[in-house]
Amino acid sequence: MALDRELQRKILTRLADSYPHSLKSAEYEELQGETPEDVFDANIFYLSELGLVGECLSKAMSGQLMMNTAKFVCTARGMDFLADDGGVSAILGTVTVKLHEDTLRQLIEA
């Protein structure tokens, strides 16, 4: 499998550093470095499907993946993923559960 967690973190961290802007072509090439193109593209596609980076890859008629570097950005969800505290998404996704006294008694008895 071509998925590489270290590479994914490297991509997200680099995009977060330039948030909300996209990378320039030279920065994109530097980020890819020695990583084979198919491995690099697979990891970007994966992060894009998760909503952590913008939808920057599309398939051409030939089946080849095309990169739109203008859309190669870290999303708000990606920024929250990198945050130690889970970011605003963790706050917004908090669920409060209230239990009545009699429900607690029943739970304890069971």
CA–CA gap between residue 50 and residue 53 (Å, rounded):
8
Position 41 pLDDT exceeds 80: yes
Name the residue among 81, 51, 55 with its Cα closest to residue 69: 55
CATH code, domain with 23: 1.10.10
Separation of CA 86 from chain center: 12
Q: What is the pLDDT of residues 51-104, one digit of tens each?
A: 999 988 877 778 787 878 788 899 999 998 888 776 766 666 677 778 888 888
Residue type, 27: E
- pLDDT score for 89: 66
Range of the domain at 102: 5-109
Element (H, E) at 57: strand 57-59
Domain count, the chain: 1
| Number of Cβ atoms within 10 Å of the Cβ of 107 | 9
> Residue 63: left if φ>0, alpha if ψ -120 to 50, beta else—which one?
left
